[in-house]
Structure 1
Amino acid sequence: MIEAVIFDMDGVIVDSEPLWLQAKQEAGARFGFTVTEEDGAQTVGLRIDEISQRWVRTKGLDPACADALTEAMIEQVIAQVRQLDEPMAGVRDTLGRLARSPLKVGLASSSPLRLIDAVLERFGLAGHFQVRVSAEHLPLGKPHPQVYLEAAAALAVLPQHCLAIEDSVNGVIAAKAAQMTALCVPEPALYRDQRFGIADLKLASLADFDCPQLRRLLGL
């Protein structure tokens, strides 16, 4: 029985993946290396400091620049988020439906807490989430399940009674490793990616959240 719904943020609540790609490319140019679209795709769902450390290793960077690289990307994305008008399709309706239900609602993201707060403030959504958990200070980010386990504990719900909503393969792996039911809403270009086969459910968009299968699962 599902007692809580836990949202990822990037790619689920806010269409931030294009923002992250731009921020990664601009930071790369600033620090003297090129970030391709493939580089961006390979790092979707990872914690931002882990991305910087990966690039230090693979791009031949001075390890001393890792923190500055991380900060440059975060600040760029926050600045872009503040220019957005709306969250992703279906988010407001989905949160409204959950608010009228007995289900608990949380957020578990690899993004730093100040970016989470910037997104929720921009769209006026903070009141919908009973907890928000960032992986930024955890030993490991997604695809490790710890951020989801922390969110479930904060909601006082067993992980097995949680539905996680994710857009990335790394996020779905994290949710399943936490023993949660996983709903994936991949970006259109990746919708048929066979790696999403580990998810329990798949939707093209949260605009389709009010479907019979989810209504039965959630008791809505």
Structure 2
Amino acid sequence: MPLPGIPVPPDGPEPVLQAVFWDLDGTIVDTEPYWIQAEKDLVGEYGGSWTDEDALELVGQALDYSARRLQQAGVPLPVEGIIAALTEKVAARIRAQVPWRPGARELLEELAAANVPCAMVTMSTGPLARLVAGQLPAGTFRLLVTGEMVQRGKPHPDPYELAFDQLAAEVPGLSKARCAAVEDSLPGYTSAHAAGLAAVAVPHVIDLPPDRRRIQWDTLAGRTRRDLEELVTAWKGAAR
């Protein structure tokens, strides 16, 4: 879903970094605890139990996958009903307080000031994505791709493929070789990497399994556009 009011980058030499694709939950905002509590509350409403281990299995997964797991835990609602119930619980907490991840807003602001288009690629629903995007300055995101827009969610490449195709229609000459993706989970990182994007993992709730080929940062705090440019350059070099 393209968002209005975003300036098109000016003509000139091709930049090293043409665009950045962002995950939402756990990357821009620390909402994973909100989702975990929402899952526990919903399962508990129907007399079931839901552990932290159960919840951690769902981090980064598509919401329809999560809904089916909650059905197995005893929630007698259709998939759409479970997604709606979870989303409303999480949205209510976000309205009360937006739990920004360290460095995320600052990096988004720097990219916006430099006219680097950003897209949000999340398995959350459109209303939730728009709720968070609305807490940032107008123009921060060029478009949003949300869970209901794809048949196959993360870890499949479809969400990032769709986001790239939509952004490419807005930004002439957009190349995957000049784009970066920021993720916190293994499903998300796998999705972005499979779509052909230079991805960086910034783990939060769950540590990622060791992989010497993966570029990984401890935090976004202190990270700048230059770091993303170096990420893209390193990825292009490794791909040769």
Query: TM-score interval w.r.t. the shorter chain?
Result: 0.7 to 0.9
How many residues were matched structurally? 213
Which of residues 124, 130, 135 in structure 1 aligns to 2:147?
A: 135
Higher helix share: 1
Residue 119 of structure 1 pairs with residue 132 of structure 2: yes
Match of 1:163, SS?
strand
The structure 1 residue matched to 2:81, chosen from 54, 60, 68, is: 68
| Identical-residue share of aligned pairs (%) | 31
Describe the shift of the 1:68–1:195 C-alpha distance in structure 2 as closer, same or farther (beyond 3 A).
farther
Letter in 1 for 2:56: A
* Contact 2:17-2:178 at 8 Å conserved across structures: yes
Matched letter for residue 184 of structure 1: A
Matches of 1:28 and 1:96 in 2, distance apart?
Answer: 38
Residue 165, structure 1, aligned to residue 182, structure 2: yes
Aligned equivalents of 1:195, 1:81: Cα separation in 2: 32
2:30 counterpart SS class: coil
Of 190, 194, 204 in structure 1, the residue corresponding to residue 218 of structure 2 is 204
Unaligned runs of 5+ residues in structure 2 are 1-15, 169-173, 234-240
What are the within-5 Å matches in structure 2 for residues 3-152 of structure 1?
3-56=18-71, 58-59=72-73, 62=76, 64-85=77-98, 87-121=100-134, 123-152=135-164
The 8 Å contact of residues 2 and 217 in structure 1, kept in 2 or not, is answered as: no
Letter in 1 for 2:33: P
- Using structure 2 for the length normalisation, give the TM-score: 0.80
Distance in 1 between residues matched to 2:181 and 2:138, nearest whole Å: 18
Structure 1 residues 163 and 11: CA distance shift in structure 2, 3 A? same
SS of the aligned residue for 1:46 comes to: coil
Please state whether the residue corresponding to 1:207 is helix, strand or coil: coil
SS at match of 2:192: helix
CA distance in 2, matches of 1:110, 1:196: 24
**How far off its partner does 1:89 sit?**
1.2
TM-score (norm 1): 0.87
* CA deviation string 1:160-196 (max 9, x = no partner): 3321100011000001110111111111x644x3256
* CA distance 1:196–1:29, change in 2 (3 Å): farther
Match of residue 192 from structure 2: 175
Q: Which runs of 5+ in 1 are unaligned?
A: none
Asked whether the equivalents of residues 155 and 191 of structure 2 are also in contact (C-alpha less than 8 Å), the reply is yes
Change (3 A) 1:217 1:185: closer
Over the aligned positions, Cα root-mean-square deviation in angstroms equals: 2.3
Q: Would the alpha carbon gap of residues 185 and 101 (structure 1) be closer, same or farther in structure 2, given more than 3 Å must change? A: same
**Which SS does the other structure have where 2:164 is aligned?**
helix
Deviation, structure 1 residue 215: 4.7
C-alpha separation in 2, matches of 1:212 and 1:158:
18
Residues 169 and 196 in structure 1, CA contact (< 8 A), matched pair in contact too = no
